[in-house]
Copies of this chain bind each other. A is one copy, B any other.
Amino acid sequence: MGMKRSKADTAETRKRIIKTAAQAFKTNGIEGTGVAEIMAAAGLSHGGFYRHFSSKEQLIAEACASEMDHFVCMANESVEPGAEAFIAHIEKFLSAEYRDDKVIGCPIVAMGSELARADADTRHAVSRGYEELIEIVTKWLSTADDAAARDDAMFTLSSMVGAMTMSRITDNPALSDYMLVVAKKRLAQLLVQRQNAAKPAVDRSAKVRLAS
């Protein structure tokens, strides 16, 4: 029944609504998820929603910000640069598990086309998070902060988003699996090229000496 809660309880409830909403948005889409449905899933009645948020739009923005933060944190957890960390993350995010479980999956893949039409706050939250991801992947790819590494980071993330998006859309299971395999293969190759290009003078001059 209705009663005032402690500030700690209130803050916890607010976080629970955001987390529940994020999962529902990723599973059934933003427009496909009602405020009452979110509140029920969070164990509350729908009427209390507006004690925490001024509108559904505000919840969308906060849920997306929360999801992007989570992915940025996950990416930051393995700070060491180099091939192992990079490939491990590619393998993880392009796995069948991440394709089949939308709750643990990427918010950009799960809500992509709706985000392009979202309001300014939501797009800004997603965009900020994505820019952080670009910087993190850039550091995985290169100790030096060169422009080519940043290009590769951007291309890597784009490719991952596209491969996972298509992998979820197709009704051909073999093709769905293979799209992920191909993306993993090609992005690993990209990394090899990067490393050959990055610690260059030694290896390249060696080859040149051999060749001449």
Given A113-B111, A113-B112, A179–B165 Cβ distance below 8 Å?
no
Binds B, one of A42-50, A76-84, A153-161: A153-161
- A181-212 interface bits toward B, Cβ cutoff 8 Å, 1 = contact, 0 = none: 01101100010000000000000000100110
Within 8 A of B (CB), among A109-128: 109-117, 120, 123-124, 126-127
- Chain B positions within 8 Å of A210 at CB level: 211
- A41 to B161 Cα, complex, angstroms: 33
- CB of A179 within 8 A of CB of B159, answer no
Task: Report if A9 contacts B (CB, 8 A).
Answer: no
- Chain B positions within 8 Å of A117 at CB level: 28-29, 32
Q: Which of B32, B115, B126, B175 contacts A127 (CB 8 A)?
A: B175
- CB of A185 within 8 A of CB of B112, answer no
Within 8 A of B (CB), among A85-144: 108-117, 120, 123-124, 126-127, 130-131
Chain B: minimal CB distance from A175 (Å)? 7
- Chain B positions within 8 Å of A113 at CB level: 29, 109-114, 165
A27 and chain B: residue at smallest CB distance: B117
Within 8 A of B (CB), among A1-44: 28-29, 31-32
Chain B: minimal CB distance from A184 (Å)? 10
Q: Which 5 A-B pairs have the closest CB atoms?
A: A162-B162, A161-B162, A116-B168, A158-B162, A158-B163
A-B contact pairs, 26 of them (CB 8 A): A108-B165, A108-B166, A111-B113, A116-B168, A116-B169, A120-B171, A127-B171, A127-B175, A130-B170, A131-B170, A151-B185, A151-B186, A152-B186, A154-B178, A154-B182, A155-B163, A155-B186, A157-B162, A158-B159, A158-B183, A159-B162, A161-B161, A162-B162, A162-B163, A162-B165, A186-B190
